[in-house]
Amino acid sequence: MHYYTDVLKKYVDFSGRARRQEYWMFFLFNLAALIIVAIVDNVIGTYPLLYGIYALAVFLPGLGLGVRRLHDTGKSGWWLLIAFVPLVGGIWLIVLMATEGHANPNQYGPSPKAIHA
């Protein structure tokens, strides 16, 4: 759970690096929360109000995490825009997010794996 809350605490931090584990755990918790909020929103009859508020609230933290995750692989945060390329863009972004980060410091900072080890 701390992966989720740590990302929310750094909601506009676009510098530094993020581990794969941090990215995918946030993705998992966020997906579960989106599903729960959508169900609750449907049950109380306000869909898409709560869902939209939640999605908007986690947009910047998720964007910052994505940029930091790309920094860990040595790529610029602008690589997030590859997702807009039809058919292959989203697949390539998943590959980038699943790629292991550089073990040594790079232009974006020290390895987060070395810091937490």
Whole-number average pLDDT of the chain: 94
Beta strands in 54-97 (DSSP E): none
DSSP-derived 3-state class of residue 45:
coil
pLDDT digits (tens, 9 = 90+) for 9-62: 998 899 999 999 999 999 999 999 999 999 999 999 999 999 999 999 999 999
The pLDDT-based confidence of 115 (bands split at 50, 70, 90) is confident
Q: What is the domain partition of the chain in residue ranges?
A: 2-107
What the block records as the tokens of 10 is 């750094």
**What separation, in Å, do the N-terminal and C-terminal C-alpha atoms of the chain show?**
19
**Whether residue 5 has pLDDT greater than 80:** yes
pLDDT digits (tens, 9 = 90+) for 66-84: 999 999 999 999 999 999 9
DSSP-derived 3-state class of residue 15:
coil
Region 94-108 average pLDDT: 95
User: CA angle at residue 85 from 106 to 95, to 5 degrees?
Assistant: 45
